[in-house]
């Protein structure tokens, strides 16, 4: 992306100044080792999904019947630090020792967003949870909530690929939690633990069991997935195609019908922080915005 932007900013000519700042994209796939048969497993998985050329044809007019709103929620640095300290304190008070994983900005933010997002989508059911909590009653819900996080594999496989590798080199970190835990009083803390520990373990062996990723997603069926797209490390707001850096970045994944949110760095680089893109129907968006604001203000 950066190389493409740099070439565009120089009128399409690959100047020496461009090459000095941005290495050429690497298309060499011969260095990728596949001892687990991942390629064959993925080809078979795609065949089972009945993908055909028409699957990649975009409609002339929008066909999404959900009439979703797309909104960006900003987490500034002081708020993120406050949330991280709160999660760290709650875990330490409970376990009497600090957590065994890093409570990063991404971990704490996604945990908070996941809880608010799931509650907002549950609507009336969430109201029942709230009323039961106020009266001291227990609500038993054996359903599951699922998390899908993209992990960059380039530097985590052997042999490692260059950072300029051009291609899809991501794997999904897929984890499951009970709705009882996610909606409970310590839902954000439990979600942060799940995300932090999952990333810590998964990043050490990103290709383990990756050949079974399609059966894993198939086993989830119609159950809800909290999927995350994008990363603050992409530094999307620094990309310049010749007409200046972008004022606002939105990833199309946030409008998908299957439940993705997007994550990026804050557009104001001097202030720092994170941007979270969410797509929901208006009633759900109103609930999410209220929950998100109230949760952060109550820390």
Mean confidence (pLDDT) of the chain: 83
Give the pLDDT of residue 249: 84
pTM value surpassing 0.75: yes
Give the pLDDT of residue 84: 97
- In the chain, the N- to C-terminal Cα span, in Å, equals 38
Cα–Cα dist 223/220, whole Å:
6
- The CATH code of the domain at 31-57+67-297 is 3.30.559.10
Give the pLDDT of residue 85: 96
Residue 111 CB coordination number (10 Å): 25
pLDDT per residue over 212-228, tens digit each? Answer: 888 888 888 788 899 99
Give, to the nearest 10 degrees, the angle between helix 77-95 and helix 187-202: 90
Dihedral sign of CA atoms 13, 14, 20, 21 in order: positive
Cα 161 vs. chain centroid, distance in angstroms?
A: 22
Q: Is omega for the bond preceding 135 within 30 degrees of 0, making it cis?
A: no
pLDDT at 1 over 80: no
Give the pLDDT of residue 78: 95
Residue 149 CB coordination number (10 Å): 22
pLDDT at 251 over 80: no
Count CA atoms closer than 13 A to 247's CA, side-chain side.
Answer: 1
- The contacts of residue 275 (CB under 8 Å, 6+ apart) are 72, 73, 74, 75, 249, 262, 263, 264, 265, 266, 267
Contact 239, 246 (CB under 8 A): yes
DSSP-assigned beta bridge partners for residue 287 = none
Closest alpha carbon to 226 in 108, 281, 115, 146: 146
Domain boundaries, the chain: 31-57+67-297
pLDDT per residue over 78-114, tens digit each? Answer: 999 999 999 999 999 999 999 999 999 999 999 999 9
């Amino acid at each position: 992306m950066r190389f493409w932007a740099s070439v565009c900013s120089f009128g399409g000519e690959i100047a020496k100044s461009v090459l000095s700042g941005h290495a050429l994209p690497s298309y060499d796939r011969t260095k990728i080792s596949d001892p687990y048969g991942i390629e064959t497993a993925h080809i078979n998985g795609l065949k089972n999904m009945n993908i055909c050329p028409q699957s990649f044809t975009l409609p002339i007019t929008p066909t999404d019947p959900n009439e979703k709103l797309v909104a960006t929620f900003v987490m500034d640095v002081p708020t993120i630090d406050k949330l991280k300290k709160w999660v760290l304190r709650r875990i330490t008070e409970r376990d009497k020792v600090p957590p065994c994983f890093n409570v990063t900005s991404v971990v704490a933010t996604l945990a908070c967003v996941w809880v608010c997002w799931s509650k907002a989508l549950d609507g009336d059911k969430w109201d029942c949870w709230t009323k039961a909590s106020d009266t001291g009653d227990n609500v038993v819900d054996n359903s599951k909530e699922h998390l899908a996080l993209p992990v960059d594999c380039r530097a985590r496989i052997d042999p490692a690929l260059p950072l300029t590798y051009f291609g899809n080199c991501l794997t999904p970190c897929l984890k499951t939690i009970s709705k009882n835990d996610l909606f409970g009083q310590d839902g954000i803390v439990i979600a942060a633990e799940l995300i932090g520990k999952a990333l810590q373990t998964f990043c050490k062996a990103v290709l383990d069991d990756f050949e079974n990723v399609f059966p894993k997603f198939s086993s989830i069926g119609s159950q809800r997935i909290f999927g995350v797209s994008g990363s603050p490390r992409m530094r999307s707001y620094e990309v310049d195609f010749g007409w200046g850096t972008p004022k606002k970045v939105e990833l199309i994944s946030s409008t998908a019908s299957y439940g993705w949110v997007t994550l990026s760095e804050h557009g104001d680089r001097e202030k720092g922080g994170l941007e979270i893109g969410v797509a929901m129907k208006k009633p759900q968006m109103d609930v999410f915005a209220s929950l998100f604001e109230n949760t952060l203000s109550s820390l």
